[in-house]
Structure 1
Amino acid sequence: MKREGLSPKQQSILSFIDNFLAEKGYPPSVREIVRGCHISSTSVVEYHLNILQKEGHIRRDAEVARGIELRRRSRALVQVPIIGYIAAGEPVPTPTADTWNSVPIETLELPQELTRGKEKVYALRVKGTSMIDALINEGDLVLMQQVSTADDGDTVAVWLKAERESTLKRLYREKGHLRLQPANPQMQPIYTSPDNVDIQGKVICIIRQLD
């Protein structure tokens, strides 16, 4: 993202906000901008954010901790199907593995940057609280890229074959088994064999459910 009339530091802040939104699905805090752009203090960030707002590049809500919104002259939209629910807690039964290819419950129309240019993107609504420390709460929507493999530490939707259940967890490969790790200290990981797991997709964006 490059905008005319902005200083290099303002360009850097604007690009950081844009990339952060694309990766996380929510805007950065001022302190995250300080760290991400290697700026000396929050007051310097506030100064540049005020200029960006005055010039019409962002909107800010002073009453909200992450109240930064990018203003775009035009935004490409993509359609993303919501195909069901996923458990962020104890696994829940799902009728069949074909659930992942079912007719969507509804379809979202979203800015293209939220899908990060990925293909085969779908959405699931979250049930449970096992991923709250990863900022995934009950009722949120997670955008998933349909994949069959993932890296250690990725947050994935998996199908447990023997249990005929699905769950949303972080994936780790350990000697002789897989660890499906919740992001909630009150919940225990699931240990299972690699042969028992089908990876159905990995999280690329979170859409927050606001009260």
Structure 2
Amino acid sequence: MLTRKQRDLLAFIHKRLQRDGVPPSFDEMRDALDLRSKSGIHRLITALEERGFIRRLAHRARAIEIVRLPEDMGGGPTAGFRPTVIDGDRPDRDLPSAIPVRIDAQELPVMGRIAAGVPIEAISEVSHHVAVPGQMLDRGGAHYALEVKGESMIDAGINDGDVVVIREQTTADDGDIVVALVEGQEATLKRFRRERGMICLEAANPAFETRILPQDKVKVQGRLVGLIRSY
């Protein structure tokens, strides 16, 4: 059984993972649950992990994945678990019957590096390609990938050297993490927000200031839908 706060937090994490492809920050979780400190969030996260609903990934900043959901939230005892069968050298009679799971992947162009800090020149050339799981991509949309440079989005779980998967689009909702083209020549990865007729490009790191620009100086070039990290 989950407490109301535990259920609220699990639902919030699940919603943000589906929307942004990255988990919310502890500050965002604290604000969403109207708690006074992040220590309460730590206790809720630990409780959800102990009950097998989430898993914290080692050596990754604030990385959380949903393992399963309660049945009344669309999950079940095995929600989120999909076994993969790997061929081995043992006879088939020694193995239990199983159904292989097909994992679809798509090759996306990596369009160079995107600044998660001070903007860099607009990105236009393909440096290489990367294989991306099909379930990470939105249906009916074109996608590309970018390598992240800088640490201004670390509180959103996006680190220097990560590869972000971007859906091509020219519009964004408040709170979306977007690739923004600034004044036609600089590209940056930031959280998008409108305020009093201006566009705010917000970092997810208190060491970086929010940039506030006229609407005609900012063009959205895509929205973050996924992230790939190499070790």
How high is the TM-score relative to the length of structure 2? Answer: 0.60
Instruction: State which of 179, 185, 209 in structure 2 corresponds to 1:188.
Output: 209
Residue 160 of structure 1: how far off its partner (Å): 0.7
Distance across 2 between alignment mates of 1:113 and 1:77: 8
Contact 1:21 1:114 in 2 (8 A): no
Q: Is the 8 A contact 2:20 2:177 kept in 1?
A: no
How many residue pairs are counted as aligned between the two chains? 165
Once residues 17 and 207 of structure 2 are traced to their aligned partners in structure 1, the CA distance between those partners, rounded to angstroms, is 28
CA distance in 1, matches of 2:17, 2:194: 28
The change in CA–CA distance for 1:172 and 1:139 in structure 2 (over 3 A counts) is same
Structure 1 position 25, deviation (Å): 6.6
Matches within 5 A, 1:9-158: 24=21, 31=49, 33=53, 37-38=69-70, 57=83, 73-92=101-120, 94=121, 97=122, 99-100=123-124, 102=125, 104-158=126-180
Decide whether aligned partners of structure 1 residues 131 and 142 sit closer, same or farther in structure 2, where only a CA change above 3 A counts.
same
Write the distance in 2 (CA, Å) between the matches of 1:119 and 1:72. 28
Q: Aligned pair in 2 of structure 1 residues 149, 177: CA closer, same or farther (>3 Å)?
A: same
* Shift, 1:57, TM fit: 2.5
Task: Give SS of 1:137's match.
Answer: coil
Tell me the CA shift for residue 117 of structure 1: 2.8
* 88 and 161 in structure 1: CA distance in 2 versus 1, 3 angstrom threshold: same
Q: CA deviation at 1:165?
A: 1.4
Alpha-carbon distance change, 72 to 129 in structure 1, aligned in 2, over 3 angstroms: farther
Report the TM-score when normalising by structure 1. 0.65
Q: Considering Cα pairs closer than 8 Å and 6+ residues apart, tell me whether 1 or 2 has the greater RCO.
A: 1
The 3-state SS of whatever aligns with 1:195 is helix
CA distance in 1, matches of 2:22, 2:186: 27
Q: 2: distance between equivalents of 1:112 and 1:22?
A: 16
Identity %: 30
Answering whether residue 206 of structure 2 is matched by residue 178 of structure 1, we say no
1:22/1:187 CA distance change after superposition, 3 Å: closer
Residues 143-163 of structure 1: CA deviation (Å, up to 9, x unaligned)? 00011111000000111116x
Gaps of 5+ in 1: 1-15, 40-44, 60-70
Contact 1:22 1:116 in 2 (8 A): no
RMSD over aligned Cα atoms: 3.7
Contact 1:25 1:114 (C-alpha < 8 Å) held by counterparts:
no
| 2:112 partner amino acid | G
Letter in 2 for 1:160: V
Instruction: Report the Cα offset of residue 208 of structure 1.
Output: 1.7
Distance 1:21 1:165 in 2: 28
